[in-house]
């Protein structure tokens, strides 16, 4: 049984995964509302260094179920345009190999997707 994590605003986090991308990390969190509905938050986090240490700069998008299909369709259209029209000569599969190497280093096994069992507040 999957454990629920109660956030500061009283919402239950029911699923979370992250994508490390250089100096940025993206978090995809599914949360439940008080009426047992679900929504997605997408958070970009960047580590910023200051004189006395560091902070995290965060940007967050809230995505609700009625917009899931429109969001995914627009994202796919945009990515297809970049890949096929703006950068047709780029082999994007080369970036998958870098991600696989990173996963192997992070989890020590190489088979588990990075961050699937991690939670972020």
CATH number for the domain harbouring residue 26? 3.10.450.700
Rounded to two decimals, what is the model's pTM?
Answer: 0.67
Query: Are β-strands 5-6 and 24-32 bridged in parallel, bridged antiparallel, or unpaired?
Result: unpaired
Q: Are 71 and 61 in contact (CB under 8 A)?
A: no
pLDDT 10s digits, 41-100? 999 999 888 888 888 899 999 999 999 999 999 999 999 999 999 999 999 898 886 555
- pLDDT at residue 5, as a whole number: 57
CA separation for the pair 107, 20 (Å, rounded): 13
Domain assignment of residue 119, yes or no: no
7 or 51, higher pLDDT: 51
Residue in 18, 44, 15 with CA at minimum distance from that of residue 31: 15
In a domain, 116, yes or no: no
Domain span at residue 99 reads: 5-107
Task: Tell me which residue has tokens 């700069």.
Answer: 57
Q: Look at the chain and report how many structural domains it folds into.
A: 1
């Amino acid at each position: 049984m999957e454990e629920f994590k109660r956030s500061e605003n009283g919402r239950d986090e029911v699923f979370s995964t992250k994508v490390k991308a250089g100096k940025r990390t993206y978090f995809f969190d599914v949360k439940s509302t008080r009426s047992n509905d679900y929504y997605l938050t997408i958070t970009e986090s960047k580590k910023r260094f200051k004189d006395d240490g560091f902070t995290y700069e965060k940007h967050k998008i809230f995505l609700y179920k009625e917009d899931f299909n429109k969001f995914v369709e627009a994202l796919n259209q945009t990515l297809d345009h970049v890949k096929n029209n703006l950068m047709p000569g780029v082999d994007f599969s080369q970036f998958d190999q870098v991600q696989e190497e990173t996963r192997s280093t992070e989890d020590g096994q190489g088979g588990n997707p990075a961050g699937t069992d991690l939670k972020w507040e």
